[in-house]
A and B are shown apart, each in its own frame.
Chain A
Amino acid sequence: MSDQTNQQKNTNVERRELIKSLATVPVFGLFLVNLWRKMRRDSLMKSNLLSDLVQEKSAPAIISSLSDSRHLNIGIIGYGGRGSHLIRGAGFATKGWTDTVSENARKNKLDKQFKTYMTQEDLNCTLVGVCDLFDVRAEQAIDASKNEVRSGGKPKATAKRYRHYTELLANDDIDAVIVATPDHWHSRITIDAAKAGKHVYCEKGLTRTFDEAIKVYDTVKKTGITFQLGHQNRQVEANEKAKQIIKQGLLGKINLVELATNRNSPWGAWVWGIHPEGNEKTIDWKTFQEPAPNKIPFGEEALRRFFRWRCWFDYGTGLSGDLLSHDFDALNQIMDIGIPKYASSSGGIYYYKDGRDVPDVWNATFEYPDKDLTVLYSATLSSNDPRGNRIMGHDATMQMGGQSGGGSVHGFIVTADSESTQYKERIQDGIINTKYPIYTYSPGSKQIDGVTSATSKYFANKGLLYTYREGKRVDPTHLHVKDWLDSIRSGGQPKCNIEVALHEAVACHMATESYFKGRRMEWDPVKQRII
């Protein structure tokens, strides 16, 4: 009896022991059940969302290469800030630049600029000719041509300086030229280069006036040269992905697009530094202002105009040619909108009362009645508010760049509309939450980069500083130059060819004309003129 009791006691103790040991295991089981339910729900929502919405699998673009097939000699006309970037894209950076960025990379491990440059592909070209009206910059370009710190092969020549672009064009060894002068020189140089049989990469905006744009278009078509306009956004993968998404009808009918420029620094407002060595002897001022409608003698004002030319309509078109042109071209790339039927614009010089004549706050409206579409552009140079660009559809909105939900949007997000027809059932079923994106494209989200200045961030957000190919950071400017050189070799058309260049030019000139005339401008596609 006592044995039995003891045995029972022992069994009870063992059972109690076991219960105490395993007491929290059911909680673990509860955790696993809930985890499984959550994962199942998430995967169901994801498959419901993505299976019929995003049909094409997103294979990253692969860079094909034609660089080995034919060596090309190139020339640069205008080696300023943009010209030097383009020449770096071709593979030639000054010693000063490579020293600075390698030092930056050493100090800040997150700064990838040097690495990006050093790993860019060798484009099998040589910089043989340089033309700049400022001696210091011409010398810098020559320095870039012979700098041995570069990716790929070593330089094959030291570039020769030409005082006038016509002398550079007369060199039969030069196959192609990059035109990165102020806008008032674009048309004349491009037309002369095309007539001399040189292929042309021309910076945006295409020209200073509408008439010049038509002349450039006609000449490029007639001569058959390979022409690329400098909208490097054409190489940005996010824009291609956005195009795919819109083509699939993810946004539904789109009636309104908002494009925005926000900058808030003197540099962003083109108050660029006046070089201490800039004077009457080092600058060919007479040639600089030759095609400008208003001419002034050399002096303090001339120096300001030479180094900050974007502030005057004599040399460019301000916000229109500099920044609207980029956003307009990106939208044209994404939605194939072409030339608008109507354009109107207004603005003023409200912040930078520094003698400039281009507006620093400026809005433009473009109407596409045949596409049931309005495109709004608004720009300010006195606020850094990160608005981003928004493509608004009946079913969803795509936000590109800017900020959302407290964080920066790199690439773009698509958020369903609460009154959407296409997603009505999914919204009701709780599969789609209109507060959160249904599609996010965030290139290089696991990649880290130290982009520092506000203006750099502006360009990075718009995808103009870098893009990703097969997970590797690439400078779109390099890809854009490469696209042009490859097209010369293959005889194909580059991504920002003369056809799409004309769309950008006409749209921007319509808006600029409207600002001057104070009325709505209309495009006559038959007579190819603005009325």
Chain B
Amino acid sequence: MNYSRYQLISLTVLRVLVGWHFLYEGISKLINPYWSSAAYLLDSKWLLSGLATTIVSNPTLLGLSDYVNMWGLTLVGAALLLGLFSRYGALTGMVFVLLYYLFAPPLLGLEYGRPGEGSYLIVNKNLIEACALWVLYSFPTSHIIGLDRFCVKPESN
């Protein structure tokens, strides 16, 4: 895929910023011994609320959910930031944020216990970030700027 200079820069900046966000979300959970996905899951509404209750009420599943979240976010973040396997990273990251969206979508008539940090109607930051990751998956940049460049055959000029 051929990008103009500005397209390449803007896509790379987007990738790095989303990567940074994921990486810190993951690491901040890893270093906090009290963090648990339970609070988020307990407040779940709509389609996946039943699944959320099942996870929360089963210590093994909850532990697994915590583990997958902490390490998943960290690895996706590092992948995007460094540009290593970043298409897989973008896809996995998209699944993560889409799940966060689906566990607690800001739909009409759904009230959440935790205080929100913005005002949302159907669209929230999770959905936008999922969309951004979709863009990053569709327009990869890591084979041009990023460690993935080591893995691909250099284009013959």
Contacts and interface: CB of A to CB of B under 8 A. Distances in A.
A25 B27 contact: no
A446 B38 contact: yes
Interface in A106-120: 108-110
Interface string A18-50: 001111110110010001000100000000000
Contacts of B62: 448
B45 interface: no
A446 B82 contact: no
Interface stretch (B87-95, B120-128, B129-137, B147-155): B147-155
Nearest to B42: A448
B31 A109 contact: no
Interface in A62-121: 108-110
A185 B150 CA distance: 86
Contacts of A13: 154, 157
Contact of B81 (A27, A109, A407): A27
A27 B20 contact: yes
B16 interface: yes
Given A23-B146, A24-B82, A27-B20, A110 B57 contact: yes
Interface in A430-464: 445-446, 448
Contacts of A28: 78, 81-82
A119 to B, nearest CB: 14
Nearest to B56: A448
B115 A406 contact: yes
A17 B156 CA distance: 12
A59 B82 CA distance: 43
A24 B16 contact: yes
B145 A23 contact: yes
Contacts of B36: 446
B114 A407 contact: yes
A269 B146 CA distance: 67
B6 interface: no
B83 interface: yes
Contact of A109 (B57, B82, B144, B157): B57
A110 B53 contact: yes
Contact of A39 (B31, B78, B114): B31
Contact of B57 (A20, A23, A31, A448): A448
B24 A24 contact: no
Contacts of B58: 109
A21 B150 CA distance: 7
A20 B145 contact: yes
Contacts of A39: 31
B23 interface: yes
Nearest to A35: B27
A110 B55 CA distance: 10
Given A27-B20, A39-B31, A109 B83 contact: no
Nearest to A9: B157
Contacts of A27: 16, 20, 81
B16 to A, nearest CB: 5
B54 interface: yes
A31 B34 contact: no
B44 interface: no
Contact of A24 (B56, B57, B81, B115): B81
A109 B53 contact: yes
B56 A31 contact: no
Given A109-B54, A109-B57, A445-B34, A24 B12 contact: yes
A110 B157 CA distance: 63
A192 B20 CA distance: 73
B56 A110 contact: yes
Contacts of A448: 38, 42, 56-57, 62
Given A27-B16, A446-B34, A448-B42, A21 B147 contact: yes
A406 to B, nearest CB: 4
Interface string B13-24: 000100010011
Contacts of B20: 27, 31
B31 A17 contact: no
Contacts of A31: 20, 23-24, 81
B82 A17 contact: no
Contacts of A23: 12, 83, 145-146
B112 to A, nearest CB: 11
The 4 closest A-B CB pairs, nearest first, are A109-B57, A406-B115, A21-B149, A23-B145
Interface of B: 12, 16, 20, 23-24, 27, 31, 34, 36, 38, 42, 53-54, 56-58, 62, 78, 81-83, 114-115, 144-147, 149-150, 154, 157
24 contacts: A13-B154, A13-B157, A17-B154, A20-B144, A21-B147, A21-B149, A23-B145, A23-B146, A24-B145, A27-B16, A27-B20, A28-B82, A31-B23, A39-B31, A109-B53, A109-B56, A110-B42, A406-B114, A406-B115, A407-B114, A407-B115, A446-B34, A446-B38, A448-B56
Given A23-B146, A406-B115, A446-B34, 8 more contacts: A17-B154, A20-B145, A24-B12, A24-B16, A27-B81, A28-B81, A407-B115, A446-B38
